[in-house]
Amino acid sequence: MARKKLIAANWKMYKNPTQTEEFFRAFLPLVFEHNRDEIVVCPPYVDLQAALESAKGSQIAVGAQDVYWKDEGAFTGEISSAMLVAVACTHVIVGHSERRQYFGETDDTVNLKLKSALEHGLTPIVCVGEVLEEREAGLTEDVLRRQCLRAFNALSAKKAAKLVIAYEPVWAIGTGKTATPQMASDVHQLIRGEAAKAFGEEFAAQLRILYGGSVKPENASALMSEEEIDGALVGGASLDAKSFAAIVKY
Ligand code: PEP
């Protein structure tokens, strides 16, 4: 069975509820009845309600950009998977490189967050990827193997059924530099191999692996036509309705 592509918007720390409504007012008509791929918008937490209301009745799903692994408790500032489900979020980004770089996210917290999201029925989009120094030192494969191994720790194929991976070479995020379709494809094969080791060949064959890192309307088509690339995680270019719609319709 062919893997349905997933095109996800990561708005990072941009837009308030009013701007979220404005985005959807412009975006929805542009992608009306465009059902080829799955589309998800991940705004900041305070915009989730506005996004969910705006997307109601459309094919667009709404996700969060992070999650905490406990269900509730004295964890000031955190949001749990149970809370995301309660407001009708269906997806969540886990382990984005900006969380790893600025907020102390580790391979182990990624694993805890991933397990929590899966237990609550969310679709986790787990980000992995090497930084420039690692690529230049020839460590890309080692880094990705370690990130996958640790993220998949203590999970079964059954529990991980909804897992989505996003390969995001950190040197390509927000820099205008994109991995070539071939570079991305090579890493996607490696990730699929790690998933096969952890969960079996059948699981790996169905696993969706997105590419992220300066995806734009101009390069989306070349990237999406690679057999190994099952969609995109889009930052900067997802903030503008026209540009995100152009990517969705690559
Ligand atoms: C991202 O935030 O995941 C991302 C890929 O950003 P950009 O598209 O801006 O490089």
**Separation of CA 73 and ligand 1 centre (Å):** 32
Give the mutation target among 6, 91, 97, 214 for probing the ligand 1 site: most ligand atoms within 8 A of CB: 214
pLDDT values of the chain reduced to their tens digit, one per residue, 250 residues:
689 999 999 999 999 999 999 999 999 999 998 999 999 999 999 999 999 999 999 999 999 999 999 999 999 999 999 999 999 999 999 999 999 999 999 999 999 999 999 999 999 999 999 999 999 999 999 999 999 999 999 999 999 999 999 999 999 998 988 889 999 999 999 999 999 999 999 999 999 999 999 999 999 999 999 999 999 999 999 999 999 999 999 9
- In a 3-state reduction of DSSP, which class is residue 119? helix
- Write out the E strands in 91-159: 91-94, 123-128
**Separation of CA 215 and ligand 1 centre (Å):** 7
**Separation of CA 190 and ligand 1 centre (Å):** 21
Q: Give the single-character DSSP code of 88.
A: T
Ligand 1 neighbours (beta carbon < 6 A): 10, 12, 168, 173-174, 212-215, 233-237
State the greatest distance between any 2 C-alpha atoms of the chain, in Å, as a whole number. Answer: 49
Give the mutation target among 12, 125, 219 for probing the ligand 1 site: most ligand atoms within 8 A of CB: 12
pTM exceeds 0.95, yes or no: yes
**Separation of CA 134 and ligand 1 centre (Å):** 19
Ligand 1, residue 98: give the atom nearest the CA.
2
pLDDT of the residue at 245: 98
pLDDT of the residue at 169: 96
- Alpha-carbon distance of 246 to 244, in angstroms, equals 5
pLDDT of the residue at 187: 96
Distances (CA, A) of 188 to 41, 50, 230: 23, 34, 9
pLDDT of the residue at 2: 86
- In a 3-state reduction of DSSP, which class is residue 28? helix
pLDDT of the residue at 108: 97
Residues 6 or more apart whose Cβ sits within 8 Å of residue 174: 214, 235, 236
Closest residue by Cα to atom 6, ligand 1, is: 235
Ligand 1, residue 127: give the atom nearest the CA.
3
pLDDT of the residue at 33: 85
Closest residue by Cα to atom 4, ligand 1, is: 235
Report domain extents, the chain: 6-30+38-248
Q: C-alpha dihedral over 150, 152, 154, 158, to 10 degrees?
A: 180
How many helices, marked H, and strands, marked E, lie in the chain?
Answer: 11, 8
Ligand 1, residue 238: give the atom nearest the CA.
8
Ligand 1, residue 12: give the atom nearest the CA.
2
**CB neighbour class for 206 (10 Å; exposed up to 12, middle 13-18, buried from 19):** middle
* CATH architecture of the domain with range 6-30+38-248: Alpha-Beta Barrel (3.20)
Closest residue by Cα to atom 8, ligand 1, is: 235
Cβ atoms of 160 and 123 within 8 Å: the answer is no
**Separation of CA 195 and ligand 1 centre (Å):** 24
Enzyme catalytic residues: 96, 168
